[in-house]
Amino acid sequence: MKTKRANFEITTDQDAMLGRLRQVLDAPSTKDALLRSSRVMLYLAESLAQGQHLYLGENPSNLVRVILPELESPSGRWTWLTPRMHSWRRQLWVKGRRLLASQVWRDLLANEMTATEAAENWDLPLEAIEEIITYCTDNTELIAAEADEERHQLAELGRTCEAAA
């Protein structure tokens, strides 16, 4: 069997995370921990690509869908939306704009606009608005979780805002 050496730099925090992963998986080495977790991620990615979802709960009556943004935002699926580097946001942004897809969607809903009206209002093609609607309705749990996180961060700064209905 042919092997290849993989060398890369990691930060102290990343080293600690890998050590914790090794401990949690009870792996004999960091390499084994990485390979085990890679197999799990590949399995999840393939399952999600087939339309399956991951749920957690103590019993079938209280299952909660687990959202894996790293695996559930395939950039190839979207024409007008794209991921952006952000410290905690995982939802998609409108390409070429500093604009979250959910901002457009929530504005459309709050103001009871049609897709055509939203396209005019945001100066976007109708196809972009339709894509935003599809993305946001498919990812309501992620959008709600990020809104909760934003409210939490504002509360830590002493600011409050009303949750959208």
List CB contacts of 85: < 8 A, sequence separation 6 or more: none
| 21 belongs to a structural domain | yes
Predicted local confidence at residue 12, as pLDDT: 92
Average pLDDT on 56-80 reads 77
- With 70 as the cut, is the pLDDT of residue 165 above it? no
| 161 belongs to a structural domain | no
45 and 85 co-located in one domain: no
| 61 belongs to a structural domain | no
CA distance linking residue 43 with residue 81, whole number of Å: 26
pTM: 0.54
Q: What percent of the chain has pLDDT over 90?
A: 51
Average pLDDT on 22-49 reads 91
98 and 47 co-located in one domain: no
Q: What percent of the chain has pLDDT over 70?
A: 93
| 138 belongs to a structural domain | yes
139 and 78 co-located in one domain: yes
Predicted local confidence at residue 159, as pLDDT: 80
Predicted local confidence at residue 163, as pLDDT: 58
113 and 150 co-located in one domain: yes
Least confident piece of the model among 24-28, 89-93, 123-127, 160-164: 160-164
76 and 148 co-located in one domain: yes
Average pLDDT on 124-153 reads 93
pLDDT digits (tens, 9 = 90+) for 145-155: 999 998 888 88
80 and 34 co-located in one domain: no
The parent domain of residue 44 ranges over 12-52
76 and 152 co-located in one domain: yes
| 66 belongs to a structural domain | no
Give the chain's largest Cα–Cα span. 62
Q: How far is CA 152 from CA 2, 47, 52, 67, in A?
A: 51, 32, 31, 19
CA distance linking residue 132 with residue 145, whole number of Å: 18
**pLDDT band (50, 70, 90) for residue 53:** confident
Predicted local confidence at residue 72, as pLDDT: 65
Predicted local confidence at residue 76, as pLDDT: 61
Number of domains in the chain: 2
46 and 84 co-located in one domain: no
- With 90 as the cut, is the pLDDT of residue 60 above it? no
| 165 belongs to a structural domain | no
| 60 belongs to a structural domain | no
102 and 42 co-located in one domain: no
